[in-house]
Structure formats: C-alpha cells, structure tokens
Amino acid sequence: MGAGEVMMSILPFLMFLVYVVPIIFVIWFAVSVVKLAKERNRTLQDILRKLDNK
C-alpha cells in the first residue's frame, strides 16, 4: 500500500469532516446565542421587578 493509496482512503473521511464540522459549529453557536439571550432576559426581568416594587 503506497502513500497515494493511503491518501485516497483518507480522502472520503476528510470530505466528511469538511461538511460535518461547520454544521456542528453552527448548531453550537445557535445554542450558545439562545442561552445568552435567555440569561439576558432573566436579568432584565429581575431589574424590571425591582423597579416596579419601588
């Protein structure tokens, strides 16, 4: 088995990674943004409640 044959056997795996890694990154980014938005909304609701009680 030569170096060329090894590269040809690895190539499909690399192409798979090229397509899957960006999708995973986009999903991770979307989940992170949603978590931060929920946290920000909770903080703003706490501030609003404190202002309403005064």
Q: Tell me what pLDDT residue 3 has.
A: 75
Q: Does position 53 have pLDDT exceeding 90, yes or no?
A: no
Answer whether residue 38 is part of any domain: yes
The distance between the two most distant Cα atoms of the chain, rounded to a whole number of Å, is 78
Q: Does position 1 have pLDDT exceeding 70, yes or no?
A: no
Answer whether residue 17 is part of any domain: no
- Give per-residue pLDDT as tens, 5-48: 877 888 888 898 999 999 999 999 999 999 999 999 999 999 99
Long-range pairs, 31-40, Cβ under 8 A, ≥24 = none
Answer whether residue 31 is part of any domain: yes
Number of domains into which the chain is organized: 1
The residue ranking higher by pLDDT, 30 or 53, is 30
Distance CA(13)–CA(10), nearest Å, equals 5
C-alpha distances out from residue 38 to 13, 22, 34, 49, 52, Å: 37, 24, 6, 16, 21
Q: Does position 52 have pLDDT exceeding 70, yes or no?
A: yes
